[in-house]
Amino acid sequence: MAKQTKKQLEEYKKSKRLLLGCICCAISFFLLYALISASDTGIVGEALSSIMFSSFGASSYIIPIFLFWFGILYFITSTILRTRIDLVLAVVSVTLSSILFSLIKSIFNLKFQDGGWLGNTLYPFFLKFFGNWGSIAIVGICFIFFIAVFFRISLFKLAKYIVKSTIEDIKQWYEYRKAKKQEKPNIVQNRSKKEQEEETPFEQTEKPRIIDSRQNKKDDKEDFVQEQMKAARTEEQKKIQVQQPQEEKKIEQEPKQEPIAEPKPIVKQEKIDTKTFSYTLPPVTLLREGSLNTQINESELQERAEALREALKSFRIDAVVQDIIPGPVITRYDIVLAPGTKMQSVMNIMDDISLAMKTAAIRIEPVPEKSAVGIEIPNPKPSMVSLRDIIDTKEFKDSKSLLTLAVGTKTDGSGYISNLAKMPHLLIAGATGSGKSVGVHNIILSILYKARPDEVKFMLIDPKRVEMTAYKQIPHLYNPCCMADDADVITRPNEASDALKKLVKVMEERYEKYASNMVRNIEDYNAKMVAEGGDKDYYIIVIIDELADLMMVASKEIEDSIQRLAQMARAVGIHLILATQRPTVNVITGTIKANFPARQSFQTVSAVDSKVILDTIGAESLIGKGDMLFLPPSEPRPVRLQGAFVSSKEIEQVVKFIADQDFPKFYEPLVHEVSQAAAATAADKAEKDLIPALKLILERRRISQDLLKAQFGGSARATNILSVLEVRGFIHKPEGTNRWEINYNLVEDYLRINDN
């Protein structure tokens, strides 16, 4: 019972302390608010504020702090209370602060509130006995002592800590000064070495090297045309020696008067052995020469390099121009930055460098093989790059691939050659007037300079109807929806959709054929056919000049066909080249983009378009007119190239040279069994509609195409039914009339026998 009473007593004391603590904190907050804004605390607050200021003056602000400290002591139950002592210390501290405020005001004549009645009454006593400075010192020391005791602060420990930390700081400063004096001689001795290693490379003591790696030198090489003509003559002589002379067979197609009702089967074109026909690749003389071989102005390049270095120096970037690589349109200046200088600091002032060099736009890229930064600046007077400059290079001549592409020239002016078979598909984008269509022409002409018509076929899709019409006469054209003689440039979106669907079937047929021959791709199949004396397969290059127009009309069908071809067609020799001037996500969808690792971007309108086509910015900074960024497959960053310019006259000359050779147009259409099955299906459908049509004749006592169209739906279906009725003799149209006459007896007999 006693224990319970003791516990209750402790809880009572604890709750009492908490209550007193809350009261002290509340009173302190109220007093402080009354001192700051007495008008908002009512009559009580105004009265308390007036009394405190008149009695204690500026020391009144200390009273709420003391009360708040009392509240904290009450809240901390583990603290032993000494209420009377703390109260005395608080009163003495307030009194001393009032005297101190009055002393300071009277001695220094400062305009602030004094210590009130209490301070004004007591401060003359201190002035009389201790003087001005003595009074301030004694009152101040006493005030600090009583405040420290009141807040339970040990002045001895505080002074000890201050002295100890001060001594440690002095020791550390002394040791640092001593170590620095010892290092000073070593720094003076090694100054020359460091200057040689760090400072000397950035003083530009030597002129930058000018590297001209253009490879258009023909003095020690035989002309490309003569080599190809010799090879063609040699092959022709071998064929004449091996083969016996054969008479030319004229294929006469007699017009057949077949009834309209019978579905027109695909007539199998007679097999033509194209190996017996000689074919000469176009000579490079059909193309005009460019200006890559013009001499470079070394003094002008050195002046521009010095201007670039001064521009960087004005922005406190130490750099040395190491190499100058002049090109036909762009000149690259390889600079070496001082140690510790970030490449990002050069990127941040790209526009300022462009302004200093008096050019529209520049491009900055790292050169890892040199540990340098390449700054590409357009030339004041650009040179024209022709397709002949690239085709006549050693790389293009020595390339054995039929799908060798003359993409453009590099920054240094040397030709850049790529292989479409390894890409295996190419995506091209660029704004209007940036050189995209000319780049497509370069691709077509590059392949025409490498491959015979029986080795490579082009399926050209041109919704704009103006870009690829020049290639109508070449025997390389291909369309899986028609025979070789009828193949033409595809211009309608619906025809393009049907052709792509049929091309998917061609791909599937080739896969079945390769599987039956136990080969993996077109290269293995052609090698096997050469060994066995069979017919080789040709490559099929699908070029779509404006993908956006097709996607607007039939996006689902086009996308599905392109996706299937892009995923599987590489092994069977089918390659896609898609070009568009709108590289948006609606046109270049994720499924299309994922299967086109090779990208070619001309100047784009915005950085967003550049990210869509290249997955990085940079294409928006190009200068147009064939300036491009080419991203080869499995490469981390794109290469800047200058596309070649080819005129309409050059295209016409190449096409005329090929067309004048009268190379036969021939390719195997789709499997005949498929076409025959489709024809049989149409015939069966017309036969099934015969009995309902005869019943309709007996019911209406007349016949017409409009009547059959309304009954069966579709003009083609009604025409087929009329043809079948006419062939069977149920109806006929007398000469000179436009009305059908019906043989009702024959109709009734047929229905009586066949209508069960």
Asked if residues 150 and 86 have their Cβ atoms less than 8 Å apart, the reply is yes
- Range 344-357 burial, b when 16+ CB lie within 10 A, else e: eebeebeeebbebb
CA distances from 71 to 34, 59, 63, 87, 150 (A): 19, 20, 13, 13, 13
Nearest residue to 379 via CA among 301, 309, 291: 301
pLDDT in tens, 225-270: 445 445 444 544 544 444 444 434 333 333 333 333 343 344 444 5
32-36, 340-344, 604-608, 639-643: range with lowest mean pLDDT: 32-36
Nearest residue to 408 via CA among 640, 756, 225: 640
Task: Please give the biggest Cα pair distance in the chain.
Answer: 155
Q: pLDDT value at position 740?
A: 86
The pTM of the whole model exceeds 0.75: no
Most confident of 150-154, 416-420, 630-634: 416-420
**What structural domains and CATH numbers belong to the chain?**
13-153 (no CATH), 298-378 (3.30.980.40), 387-395+402-408+423-493+536-656 (3.40.50.300), 672-754 (1.10.10)
CA dist 293 and 217 (Å) reads: 8
CA distances from 103 to 51, 52, 118 (A): 21, 19, 12
What average pLDDT does this structure show over 544-563?
83
**How wide is the angle at C-alpha 174 spanned by C-alphas 173 and 175, nearest 5°?**
95
The 3-state DSSP class for residue 389 equals helix
Q: In 387-435, which residue ranges form alpha helices assigned H by DSSP?
A: 387-391, 394-398
> 177, exposed or middle or buried, with CB in 10 Å at 0-12, 13-18, 19+?
exposed
Q: 181 or 353: whose pLDDT is higher?
A: 353
Most confident of 217-221, 397-401, 553-557: 397-401
The mean pLDDT of the chain is: 80
Residue type, 362: I
Q: 114 or 490: whose pLDDT is higher?
A: 490
For residue 323, what are the β-bridge partners?
Answer: 209, 334
Q: pLDDT value at position 727?
A: 82
Q: pLDDT value at position 220?
A: 39
Q: Are strands 209-210 and 319-325 parallel, antiparallel or unpaired?
A: parallel
Q: pLDDT value at position 258?
A: 37
pLDDT in tens, 505-526: 999 999 999 999 999 999 999 9
The 3-state DSSP class for residue 209 equals strand
